[in-house]
Structure 1
Amino acid sequence: MVINNTVLSTTSFFQSDAWLFAVYIILTYEIVFWFSNSFLIFIELFDIPIIDQYRIQKHKKKLRFQPDIVHLMIKETIYHQLSLIFLTPALYFIFNYFGHIDIQGIRPSWSTILFQLALFILSEDTIFFWTHYLFHTPWLYKHIHKKHHVYKQPTGVTAVLSDPFEGIQTQLATWFMPIFIKETHIFTVCIWVAIRTYQTVIAHSGYNLPYITTQYWLPELMPGTIAHDFHHQHGKWNYGSFFSVWDQIMGTHRLTTSKKETN
Structure 2
Amino acid sequence: MKFKVHKAWNIKFWKTKKTFTYILGLGLFLFVAFNCLTWYWQKFSGALRPFWQTQWENLYYRLGGNEWVIFIIATIVVPGIFFWSINSILMVADITGKPGFITQNHIQLGKNDPVDTTKLRKAIRVGLYNQIFISLPMVMLMLPILKWRGDPFSLSLPTLYRFLLELAFNALLEEIMFYYIHRSFHHPFLYKHIHKWHHEWTAPVGIISMYAHPVDHVITSMIPVLTGPVLLGSHVVSFMTWLTLTVLYGSITHCGYSLFPSTEFHDYHHLKFNECYGVFGFLDLLHGTDKMFRCSRAHKNISESIPELPKKKKKLTDLS
TM-score, length of structure 1 as denominator length: 0.81
Instruction: Report SS of the residue matched to 2:106.
Output: coil
**1:67 Cα deviation after fit:** 4.5
Q: Which amino acid aligns with 1:139?
A: F
- The equivalent residue for 2:79 is 29
Counterpart of 2:141 (choices 90, 101, 104) is 90
Larger proportion of helix: 2
Q: Who is 1:245 aligned against?
A: 282
Structure 1 residue 104, shift from structure 2 partner: 4.6
**What RMSD over aligned residues (CA atoms) do the two structures have, in Å?**
2.1
1:217-228 correspondence runs (5 A):
224-228=262-266
Q: Distance in 1 between matches of 2:231 and 2:112?
A: 44
Number of residues paired by the alignment?
Answer: 231
Counterparts of 1:137-216 in structure 2, within 5 Å, are 137-169=187-219, 170-181=221-232, 183-209=233-259, 213=260, 215=261
For residues 15-26 of structure 1, the aligned pairs below 5 Å read 15-26=65-76
Note the alpha carbon deviations across 1:148-199, whole angstroms, 9 max, x for none: 0111111111111111111122211001111011x42111111101111111
Distance 2:226 2:73 in 1: 17
User: Hey, what's the Cα distance between the residues in 2 that align with 1:251 and 1:78?
Assistant: 35
Q: After the TM superposition, which of the residue ranges 73-82 and 191-200 deviates more from structure 2? A: 73-82
- 1:123 aligns to 2:173 (yes or no): yes
Using the alignment, how far apart are the partners of 2:97 and 2:117 within structure 1?
A: 19
What is the CA distance between 1:22 and its match in structure 2? 2.0
CA distance, structure 2, for counterparts of residue 39 and residue 180 of structure 1: 35
Residue 97 of structure 2 contacts residue 114 of structure 2 at CA under 8 Å; is this kept in 1?
no
**Is the CA contact (8 Å cut-off) linking 1:32 and 1:198 kept in structure 2?**
yes
Residue ranges of structure 2 left out of the alignment (5+ in a row): 1-62, 297-305, 311-320
Shift of 1:110: 0.3
Gaps of 5+ in 1: 1-12, 216-223
TM (norm. structure 2) is: 0.67
